[in-house]
Every structure is written in structure tokens, then in C-alpha cells.
Amino acid sequence: MSDGKQLTIHEAHRLLADRQVSSVELTRAALERIDKIEPSVRAVVTVTGEMAMEQARAADQRIASGNGNPLCGIPVLIKDVISTRGVRTTCSSKMLENYVPPYDATVMERLSGCGAVMVGKTNMDEFAMGSSTENSAFFVTHNPWDLGRVPGGSSGGSAAAVAAGEAIYALGSDTGGSIRQPASFCSVTGLKPTYGRVSRYGLVAFASSLDQIGPLTSDVTDAALVLNAISGFDRRDSTSVPLPVTDYTCGLNGDIKGLRLGVPGEYFVEGMQEEVIRAIQAAIARLEGLGAVIDWEVSLPSTPYALAVYYIIAPSEASANLARYDGVKYGFSYQDADSMWRAMEKTRQYGFGPEVKRRIMLGTYALSAGYYDAWYLKAQKVRTLIRREFDRAFESYDALITPTSPTVPFKIGEKVDDPLQMYLSDVCTLPINIAGLPAISIPAGFADGLPIGLQIIGKPFDEETILKIAHAYQQATDWHKMRPGI
């Protein structure tokens, strides 16, 4: 965890188990790294140093008494949209700047049960709306590969922190690409599980039918280890699915011979950077070399509608979810108003940033009486078409392979004044949320020193296969081992 080599979870676990290092030492190293790197990267909103040291001491005791959990004693950073009992959870919004949840999200309970050590909460686009962290009400996170560029978003803080070694892994959330696109931009591994695989209880809601929590890690083995810990049925989330959770590390054996992989042409969108296309083609050829059977000519014709569908459904759900921020129930409350309505208006005027307001307005419009059928209902129908196309494709293929993002990380400020350009960052990732599928982004090369990510999309609840493919690729390549020289 020092400035030199950064440890993975499985490496750190080995060292802890062999007593070559203690959790207290790992945690102190993470906190020192945070101290040193934060002035330039700015990935972390809240550092929980004292609490972390306490958790580390407890973890060391557990390890001494033979606790073999692979996450025990290992420092993690949590996206600030996941509720943490007693620790401020801001969603990078002025609305929740001083909000301290009285309870833990289910994923936090599960991580604590494993003996994880939380070193802090990470920066994000406000309420997870954005692709660059530039919508954070607090500050912009910088990409550790090039400090003048964005780390992606909305889980940009989590991705940048893992890339820069501020923690060994992080949790993010993904509504339309918010784990995978920043993973691509920061050259780390990012997994969005199947909708329903991981409990959303305690995840501050953006768009409830799309949101899913997942890990950002240094490699695929780590992603599997974190998924083992956080997934599974939770009676407090009625959309979590009561399917058994397998050990996701079991299938990581490098053997992808005969797996059928489809490459949907629609994902190579207009305006996609040449270097991205070339890197993805090379990565696919690599998978072919490992024995996978590639079909380069898959078509998912409804793909071009996904962006429009997403930007109706996500804001509609957001407008309903964010109605709770009325100055009474949660967070910021404007006090100097002469009526209740005025207080609510002022609370929202000050508490929400421009992108959040834009989404609330879009969603309210799409759901309003005269327009509901034309917008929201139509979008839901197209959503079904998109999902069916994937179902059909998965009759012939074990997984689909695409780029994660059409571009390498862009410059800070480059897209802030053009929301549509910003929305296009997620063309390759949004359809997967619309269909509720699992997908992983893994490092697949660089263009002029800037990271490129490969996306592998799986059948519902078949995280095993995409992890297997991603792992086989990482066995055969070194992209994921490269680290920014920061």
C-alpha cells in the first residue's frame, strides 16, 4: 500500500493470514496515502481515521483468533451514497451535507460482518447524476492518470481512490454506468451486478429500477471476493432476489475455451475514438486466442434508443425519489421562510445543484398527466424491447463484449456546459441497466497514457461467466497491473 506496489485484496489477505502485516499497519498505510495524495486527487469526502483504526485493531484480534474471511482487516472506501451508521453520508449534495444516517446499508452490515475496515467515504456526482464528478457540490475529483482530466462518474471518487492506492478496494453504485465508466477511465476493475443481486437497502435512491451497488477493485479476483461478501437476498429490499449465492471465485480458472462471445455492432457508436476501437478489437482477438468463439456480427437494433429511454426513466424515478428532500424529513432545511411552501422552495433551491434540478424537472414533466403516455409509458415499452433483444442474444451467446466508454477520460470542464455530450459518455453502459444485466469493465489498454476499458455483459445472475472471462483476460494481459505514477 506504500507508494510502490499496491496490494490486491487477495494479496493483502495472504499477508495478514501469514502475519507478515497487521490490519493496523495496512490501515495506517491507507490513511497516510490518503493524506499524501488527496491534495491532488480529491477522491475522498470524509476520512474516518479513528474509526478505521479501531476497526483495524478489532480485525487484528479476529485474525489472531483464526478468522479467515478474505475481507477481514482490509481497508475499503465507500461511495458517499451508501448509508453508514454514525458517518455523514452526503451524496456530494448540499442537501445532505450534514446528514448522519442512524443505520447501516445492508452492504455495510455485510462488510462489517466480514471485518472490513472503512477508511472513508468517496466523492461522486451529486445524487449519482453525472459522468465526471463535476456535479459534486463539494469539489471535482481528478483522474490519477492525468490530473487535468475527470475520473469518470458518478463513482469517480471510488475509482480514482482505488487507482491511486488510497484503499485496497471501494464500493460504488451504478444506475447507467457509474461503476463501469469510472473504472474504465481510471483503469480499474468495476462490476455492476445483476439487478436484484445486491441489496439496495440503505443505498440512497436515484432511479430505483436501475440502481445497483458493486465493487471497484484492482483485479477480477478481488471483484469476486467482494461480490461474495455483499450479494444475496435481503428481506429489507423487496427487489433483492432469493437466489443462492455461489462462491464467485470458483469459476476463475482461466478456461474460456468454447465460450461463445458476441460483439454487438451498435456499441461501436459514431464518434467513438479510433484508439478505443482498436484496443477493444485487440482485446477481443486476445479472448479468441484464449479459445473463445467470437461472433463479430451481432446486432441489437434497439440499442440507439437506450439513451433516450434512460433519460426518461431515470429522471422520472429520480423526481419521485427526490421528493422526500423537502426540508422536513432529511438534511438541509431553510429556516427563514414565511410559509411552508416557501421553505420547501428555498430548501430545494439551495440544496440541489443544477443537474439534479434538471433531472427533477425532466422527470416531473415525463410523468405529468398529459404526457405520461407519450413519454414514460413509451419509454417503458422500448425498455421491454431492449430487454427482449438481450434475451434473444443470450440464446446464442454466453456473453457480449463491447467498449465501456466511447472515449478515454476527457478534460475537466470539457463537457460541463453540454449535458447531452456528457450523457453520451454512457451510451455503452446504460442499456445494461435498462435490461438489469450484470456487466464488468476491465482495463484493456491505453491511448497516449489514458485508460481504455473493455465491457463484458452477462446473462441475468450469471456473474460467474463474466468474471471467468474477465479473469482469463487478466491472466493473459498486464493492463490491470499498471498504476498511475502519482
93 binds ligand GLN, rule: CB under 6 A: no
175 binds ligand GLN, rule: CB under 6 A: yes
314 binds ligand GLN, rule: CB under 6 A: yes
Of 23, 79, 199, 316, catalytic = 79
Is 93 one of the annotated active-site residues of the chain?
no
Whether residue 392 contacts residue 254, with contact meaning beta carbons closer than 8 Å, is answered with no
CB atoms within 10 A of CB 72: 21
- The single residue among 174, 222, 237, 398 that binds ligand GLN, judged by CB under 6 A, is 174
Under rule CB under 6 A, how many of the chain's residues touch ligand GLN? 13
Of 155, 178, 231, 425, catalytic = 178
Dihedral pair phi/psi, residue 294, rounded to 5°: -100, 130
> Which ranges of 273-305 would DSSP assign to H, the alpha helix?
274-289
407 binds ligand GLN, rule: CB under 6 A: no
In whole angstroms, how close is the CB of 317 to ligand GLN at the nearest point?
Answer: 11
In the complex, residue closest to ligand GLN by CB: 178
78 binds ligand GLN, rule: CB under 6 A: no
240 binds ligand GLN, rule: CB under 6 A: no
Cell of 201: 437497502
154 binds ligand GLN, rule: CB under 6 A: yes
Q: Which residues are CB-neighbours of 156 under 8 A, at least 6 positions away?
A: 43, 123, 124, 125, 132, 133, 141, 150, 182, 185, 186
Q: Which residues are CB-neighbours of 25 under 8 A, at least 6 positions away?
A: none
176 binds ligand GLN, rule: CB under 6 A: yes
Is 199 one of the annotated active-site residues of the chain?
no
Of 154, 173, 218, 316, catalytic = 154
Side chain identity at residue 319, one-letter code: S
Side chain identity at residue 210, one-letter code: L
- The single residue among 48, 178, 217, 319 that binds ligand GLN, judged by CB under 6 A, is 178
- Measured in whole angstroms, the distance separating CA 460 from the mean position of its chain's CA atoms is 18
426 binds ligand GLN, rule: CB under 6 A: yes
Q: Which residues are CB-neighbours of 271 under 8 A, at least 6 positions away?
A: 406, 424
Strand order in the sheet with 44-47: 44-47, 117-122, 75-79, 169-174, 212-217, 189-192, 439-447, 450-458, 399-403, 260-264, 293-298
- Count of H helices and E strands in the chain? 15, 11
141 binds ligand GLN, rule: CB under 6 A: no
- Please identify, among the stretches 31-39, 169-177, 278-286, 343-351, the one whose residues bind ligand GLN according to the rule CB under 6 A: 169-177
The CA distance from 18 to 63, in Å, is 10
Nearer to ligand GLN, 144 or 177 (CB): 177
In whole angstroms, how close is the CB of 381 to ligand GLN at the nearest point?
Answer: 21
Is 154 one of the annotated active-site residues of the chain?
yes
130 binds ligand GLN, rule: CB under 6 A: yes
- The single residue among 56, 59, 128, 140 that binds ligand GLN, judged by CB under 6 A, is 128
Q: Which residues are CB-neighbours of 396 under 8 A, at least 6 positions away?
A: 260, 262, 295
455 binds ligand GLN, rule: CB under 6 A: no
212 binds ligand GLN, rule: CB under 6 A: no
Whether residue 131 contacts residue 83, with contact meaning beta carbons closer than 8 Å, is answered with no
331 binds ligand GLN, rule: CB under 6 A: no
Q: Tell me, residue by residue from 251 to 290, as one string, x for binding to ligand GLN by CB under 6 A and - for no binding.
A: ----------------------------------------
3 state DSSP class of 169: strand
- The single residue among 30, 129, 283, 287 that binds ligand GLN, judged by CB under 6 A, is 129
Write out the catalytic residue numbers. Answer: 79, 154, 178
Q: Which residues bind ligand GLN (CB under 6 A)?
A: 128-131, 154, 174-178, 206, 314, 426
